[in-house]
Structure 1
Amino acid sequence: MTDDTYQLTLTRVFDAPRDKVWRCWTEPKLLEQWFCPKPWRVSDVVLDLKPGGAFSTVMHGPNGERFPTSGVFLEFVPNERLVTTDAFRPGWQPSGRAFMTSEVTFEDMGDGRTRYVAYARHWSEDAKKEHEQMGFHEGWGKAADQLGDLAKSI
């Protein structure tokens, strides 16, 4: 049983097969198309798809905001699960301020549909609240909707 005290969760069912949803997460050019709620966008995507491999992006806001993010993959199970954290940088270097660990799961529901669940797990109640106040539900929700639309179209 998992302790979800400091966890935020988002669930969607997409009208797209699991392999296409997976591709949208694991191919940089596809990830760039959905990963931030528009009008935000992502560039400079690095996906080294293995435990300890780099996961990094640069998020760009409509008013010139620029937020680089960096972390590593903790787990990689093709077409089923991705786990990343910002607690470490590549080479297992501590990041200085761990904010969260994310897990996304992809479940084949048959009939070309995929159940997608995204978890954001935080080290403290304060970090969880900070993420909620940053707009987790709205932002991750819009991004997930964009992911579903893209996966359906490819």
Structure 2
Amino acid sequence: MTMTQNLDTDLELIRHLKAPPAKVWRCWTEPALLAQWFAPKPVVTRDVKIDLRPGGIFATTMDIPDMGSQTGAGCILEVEPQRRLVWTDLLGPGYRPVAESFGFTAIILMEPEGSGTLYRAIAMHRTPDQRKADEDMGFEAGWGAAAAQLDALAATL
């Protein structure tokens, strides 16, 4: 599926990772691995649930210092092994509407690049204000730190 980015509502992180797409994919799709890198330290990610199929669950709980625990659950929309993973918190498992959400869809793209991976993470928001709030919360720094943790973990596999 092709996608047109909307600069008013989308944020994008692009990184060149040392590990090949197969290892990066494992870090995104195996709960025990995702828990190790998904949020910037010192945040702890736990209780990861991934049902890797369209309509399946993608859920985590993050323990955030001085803020408590935050649980997020969403629905996987697309799965193209080692290339593309799309999920949203706008829907729950089984494509069921949710009452409340942060309001975004994540598109994770992986392309072979030499012996590594061209990695793109796109966060699509409902409104420009939500995009701005995510940017102001530190999207680039937070998602960038998590991508560095992902790269370091994938290199050990």
TM-score norm. by structure 2 comes to 0.93
Tell me the matched-pair count: 153
Match of 1:2 in 2: 4
1:105 aligns with 2:109: yes
- Counterparts of 1:93 and 1:43, CA distance in 2: 23
Q: Find the partner of 2:61 among 58, 61, 66.
A: 58
Report the Cα offset of residue 96 of structure 1: 2.0
The superposition leaves residues 109-139 of structure 1 with CA deviations (integer Å, 9 ceiling, x where unpaired) of: 12x2111000000110011011112211111
Task: Give structure 1 regions of 4+ aligned residues with deviation exceeding 2 angstroms.
Answer: none
The RMSD of aligned alpha carbons is: 1.2
Give the fraction of aligned pairs with identical amino acids, expressed as a percent.
46
Match of 1:75 in 2: 78
- Secondary structure at the aligned position of 2:94 is classed as coil
1:30 aligns with 2:9: no
- Counterparts of 2:62 and 2:27, CA distance in 1: 17
Match of 1:137 in 2: 140
Match of 2:51 in 1: 48
- Secondary structure at the aligned position of 2:42 is classed as coil
Structure 2 unaligned runs (5+)? none
TM-score norm. by structure 1 comes to 0.95
The superposition leaves residues 72-103 of structure 1 with CA deviations (integer Å, 9 ceiling, x where unpaired) of: 00000000000000011112221123410000
The superposition leaves residues 45-69 of structure 1 with CA deviations (integer Å, 9 ceiling, x where unpaired) of: 0000000100000011123610000
- Counterparts of 1:74 and 1:91, CA distance in 2: 10
Report the Cα offset of residue 3 of structure 1: 3.7
Structure 1 unaligned runs (5+)? none
Q: Find the partner of 2:20 among 17, 41, 61.
A: 17
